[in-house]
Structures are given as structure tokens and as C-alpha cells.
Amino acid sequence: MSGFYSTRGDKNSVSGPQAVLRGIAPDGGLYTLKDFPKIPPQELVGASFQEISRRVLGAYLEGYTREEIDGCVERAYANKFDVKEIAPLKQVGDKYVLELFHGPTAAFKDVALSVLPQLMRCAMEKEGRSDRILILTATSGDTGSAALTGFADVPGISIVVFYPDKGISPIQRAQMTTMAGENLGVCAITGNFDQAQTGVKRIFTEISPEFCREHGVSLSSANSINIGRLAPQIVYYYSAYLELVRAGRIAMGDKVDFCVPTGNFGDILAGYFALLSGLPVGRLICASNENNVLTDFLATGTYDKNRDFHVTLSPSMDILVSSNLERLLYNALDNDASAVAALMAQLKETGRYILPEQAMARIRERFVGACADDEAALAAIGRVFRETGYVMDPHTAVAWRAAEDCARADVPCVVLSTASPFKFPASVLRGLGAEVPEDAGEQTALLEKLSGEKAPASLAGVLERELRFKDVIDPNDMMQYVLGKAARA
């Protein structure tokens, strides 16, 4: 049966446009598929990134017409990325690096958040919606700016972003707090990303329908809990694979491993969806920093978030509750929504759950976990630069280390690079063993000099721009804050 089902037990399915508009299911579950569309890579030989996007989004997001998907993809990528391939693949040493950071905010979230506002706008028109949509988003650093950029001045849609006051880089903060656009809101919370995400999820399930009706507003999400975020991420697994075939590195049908710096588990889950659609994916290596809940989960079958939260040099991976894992559990438990709901209830009450061995075995057929702390990531940045001349950001460096741990001699490994090194110049300079200047502008200049690369044009001057958003609130006050925004939206 087609359509999107809640992982927690809606009996009824919704269409692609409905799932995109809602973001999260009314029961708190995530929309996912029971059966996955087959997309044979043989049929996409020679296709551009946009052509692969059209094919993947068309296959996944049932309910949009072909013309609608074509229009969304066209508008999403026209002139927004600084390379025509969108996601170029580079050989670095004995591995490949898939650069996903060539969009307007220099992190991989741009790939999907360029498309999502288009899909949402189109869905509103299809569904004949006259209310406003208020997007709520929790960010560990990069989703915020990518979502704000994607949604800025989109008619009928407003957006509020919550970010942890401590723990994101100065450039990440400035990208959000200086963003222009009448329909934007940005607010810091005195807590970490998990608290921001929990707060947002709670607002979705607790806001009263009367309030929404009265103010003519409905809520949705730009986080990877939205299926409209996930589907565009499947595309670059295909594009990377097809590039390896084109370049003669593999034959069509050969397996390729992918190593993914992981936080909310959205990026790597898209790789699993690609596999379920017929891409010859070998292993999916789940790379974590010191917040290594997922490494432990994959090793032991116990998910346990009762542990210290570490603020690391790879802040976009500082997450203890990886939302999208829920979609993998649903699949590994043979689409048993009540079993998923029970595990999620346990997680909420006790902070942990144990996945039955059979489901765990299924996950382990494909997933392997590895983690690297800040020191290991910095060392990798320096070593890879000395050996190959390639400069990585700290998130990519965590994945590089994990890929080294899990490498197989006979299977090519693609490391997903999720951010430009120029987004984290201080950490990268440390990794390179350079003296780190105090001034952020000087850091960028020094990194340009050492790496021989230009900083992305989109990051230029961001630290000097005028501050527009200064709100800082307690995580417990998020509902209040949103009600105020919604009433004025």
C-alpha cells in the first residue's frame, strides 16, 4: 500500500503533499513508507543532479504531479549552489569525499532545504490552504540558517528557529541572527539541542487546535523529521554512485560503502532509503563524536541517552536523541507501529530502550558505528592535509576517522562532507597546527592562505552584518514564545 504512515500507529496513510505540510504525525510519530519505490541506478546513467532529483522525488513523494516536482527542483537549485554538479565527488587519498556544502549556507542541509520550501508552497496550493504555515525548527547549528535562507519571504509561510545559546560556532550564530526576511524569527534557548528539539516536538503535540483555527495558522517542521527534508537527501547517494561508475572506479552493481557524520540520523537514513530503492550500498558507517549514543546502540542494541552531553568541535552532531532512528526502527520491526510506539514511550520515560535482537540483527546487516573525539578529529584534519592537501571541516573529520576504523580493502568508501571548513575556521586551523588568530576575519584569511582555497562567497562579511535577533529564553518558555509569534504571524 502506498502513502505515508506514522511510525507510531496511524491506521490511515497521507499523501506526499500532506506529509510535507504536517511535518510530524498527529500522534507524535514520523511519516514513513511501508514499501519503497524501486529506482534502478542503471536508468540514471548520465543524468544530472537535477534529473536524479526529479526521478527520486517523483518516486518518493506520491501526490505531486511530474510538472510540480520538475518546477520545485528547478527553482530549488537554480543559481543557488556555487558548483554546477551541486554535490561534487573528490578523490582524497584512498577514499572519496562527497562535498555537500556548496549551497548558500555552506552546509549539507542546503541540499534539502532548498527544495523543502518549494514542496511546501506547492502543497499549500494543491490542498487549497488559506491559513498561514508556521515552521518550527530546532537547530544544532546548520539547519537554522539553511531553513531561514530557504523560507525567507516565501509567501504564506513564517518560520521560527530555536538554537542552543552555547555550543554553536560564531559564524553559525551570525548566519542566523543577521538573516534578512520579514517572515523570520530566531531565538536562543538556555539549553542544548535536545532540549530545543524536545520543546519543538512538544509544541506540535500540545498546541490547541482552537488556537490554530482562531489565528488561521498551522504548524509544520523543517527538521529532518519532515519527509520533504529526507527525500532530497537520497539523491546524492545516487549521484555519488553514478559518478564512481562514470569515472570507471566501479562497475555498475558493485557495492560502495558510505560513511556519514551523524546527528539526528537523517542524512544516513537517506542512504538506507537509497539502498531500499535498489542502490548497491554496502555498509553505512554511522560516525559520531563524543556524543556516541549511536555507536553504543549499534554495538549493544541498547539505546541510552542517560549520559553527559558533550559540547564538541562538531556541534551539528551534538545530539543524544536522534529522531530519525525511529524510522529505521519501524523498518527493522517490520512496520510494527505499536512496537515503535512502545519503545518511544520507554525512551521518553526512562531515557532508554532495548531493541529486540532480531530487529537489531537486521540493522547490523547494513549499519556499523564508530566514534571519534575532538582530539582524533583535529589530528585527522592535520594528517589528511599533510598527506593529500585536502582540508576538511571537523564534522567531516569525525567521519574520516570512522571510515578509517571501518574501511574494507575491497570496497570503495565515500565519506560525506557536511560542512565547508570555512564555517569552522578556528577548529580547522587548530587541526592544521597553525597559530589561531583571535579575530574571526583573520582566521578566515589564514585558512585561505594555508589551504589555497577561497572561502565561500556566502560566508563573506557575515560576522559584520547587523544583529537582528537577540531573544534568549528558557527552554520551558518555548510554547509561550511560539503562541506569541503565531498570534502575530
Ligand X SMILES: *Cc1c(COP(=O)(O)O)cnc(C)c1O
What positions carry a catalytic annotation? 109
| Interacting residue with ligand X among 49, 258, 265, 353 (CB under 6 A) | 265
Stretch that binds ligand X, among 9-17, 32-40, 263-271, 344-352 (CB under 6 A): 263-271
Strand partners, 99: 417
CA 442 to each of CA 166, 301, 387, 462: distance values in angstroms, whole numbers, following the listed order:
23, 46, 25, 14
Compare residues 220 and 224 and give the one whose CB is closer to ligand X: 224
| Interacting residue with ligand X among 88, 185, 191, 261 (CB under 6 A) | 261
377 to 396: interface string for ligand X, x by CB under 6 A: ------------------x-
Compare residues 111 and 432 and give the one whose CB is closer to ligand X: 111
Stretch that binds ligand X, among 32-40, 64-72, 182-190, 258-266 (CB under 6 A): 258-266
Site for ligand X in 108-137 (CB under 6 A): 108-109
How many residues bind ligand X (CB under 6 A)? The answer is: 17
Compare residues 397 and 446 and give the one whose CB is closer to ligand X: 397
Instruction: Give 3-state DSSP helix, strand, coil % of the chain, rounded to 5.
Output: 50, 15, 35
Report the run of H or E that residue 275 belongs to, with start and end.
helix 266-276
Asked if 367 touches ligand X (CB under 6 A), the answer is no
Compare residues 4 and 108 and give the one whose CB is closer to ligand X: 108
Asked if 175 touches ligand X (CB under 6 A), the answer is no
Tell the smallest beta-carbon distance from residue 15 to ligand X (Å).
Answer: 24
Q: Map grid coordinates 503535540 to a residue.
A: 205
Tell the smallest beta-carbon distance from residue 129 to ligand X (Å).
Answer: 28
Tell the smallest beta-carbon distance from residue 269 to ligand X (Å).
Answer: 8
3-state secondary structure of 469: coil
Compare residues 7 and 224 and give the one whose CB is closer to ligand X: 224
Report the run of H or E that residue 410 belongs to, with start and end.
none
Report the run of H or E that residue 250 belongs to, with start and end.
none
Angle between helices 394-406 and 374-388 (to 10 degrees): 90
What is the spatial distance between Cα 55 and Cα 341, in angstroms, rounded to a whole number? 32
What is the spatial distance between Cα 372 and Cα 380, in angstroms, rounded to a whole number? 10
Compare residues 41 and 144 and give the one whose CB is closer to ligand X: 144
Compare residues 149 and 262 and give the one whose CB is closer to ligand X: 262
Strand partners, 419: 107
262-296 per-residue burial string, b: 16 or more CB within 10 A, e: under 16? bbbbbbbbbbbbbbbbbbbbbbbbbbbbbbbbbbb
Asked if 226 touches ligand X (CB under 6 A), the answer is no
Compare residues 396 and 451 and give the one whose CB is closer to ligand X: 396
Tell the smallest beta-carbon distance from residue 400 to ligand X (Å).
Answer: 13
CA 469 to each of CA 107, 124, 164, 176, 472: distance values in angstroms, whole numbers, following the listed order:
21, 28, 14, 8, 9
Tell the smallest beta-carbon distance from residue 81 to ligand X (Å).
Answer: 16
Asked if 418 touches ligand X (CB under 6 A), the answer is yes
| Interacting residue with ligand X among 16, 185, 228, 263 (CB under 6 A) | 263
Pairing of strands 89-92, 95-99: antiparallel
Do residues 461 and 177 make contact, with C-beta atoms less than 8 angstroms apart? Answer: no
* φ/ψ of residue 353, rounded to 5: -155, 160
Asked if 316 touches ligand X (CB under 6 A), the answer is yes
Count CB neighbours of 190 within 10 A: 14
Count CB neighbours of 2 within 10 A: 12
Asked if 107 touches ligand X (CB under 6 A), the answer is yes
Site for ligand X in 135-164 (CB under 6 A): 142
DSSP letter (8 states) at residue 12 = S
What is the spatial distance between Cα 18 and Cα 480, in angstroms, rounded to a whole number? 27
Stretch that binds ligand X, among 14-22, 106-114, 296-304, 442-450 (CB under 6 A): 106-114
| Interacting residue with ligand X among 39, 245, 419, 447 (CB under 6 A) | 419
| Interacting residue with ligand X among 154, 317, 446, 478 (CB under 6 A) | 317
Do residues 201 and 24 make contact, with C-beta atoms less than 8 angstroms apart? Answer: yes
| Interacting residue with ligand X among 15, 264, 277, 427 (CB under 6 A) | 264
62 to 101: interface string for ligand X, x by CB under 6 A: ----------------------------------------
Compare residues 122 and 398 and give the one whose CB is closer to ligand X: 398
Q: Map grid coordinates 569515472 to a residue.
A: 247
Asked if 327 touches ligand X (CB under 6 A), the answer is no
Question: And the C-alpha cell for 152?
Answer: 525567507
Asked if 15 touches ligand X (CB under 6 A), the answer is no
What is the spatial distance between Cα 283 and Cα 261, in angstroms, rounded to a whole number? 14
What is the spatial distance between Cα 377 and Cα 312, in angstroms, rounded to a whole number? 10
Asked if 262 touches ligand X (CB under 6 A), the answer is yes
Stretch that binds ligand X, among 44-52, 63-71, 195-203, 262-270 (CB under 6 A): 262-270
Question: And the C-alpha cell for 479?
Answer: 510554547
In the complex, which residues of this chain contact ligand X (CB under 6 A)?
107-109, 142, 224, 261-267, 316-317, 395, 418-419
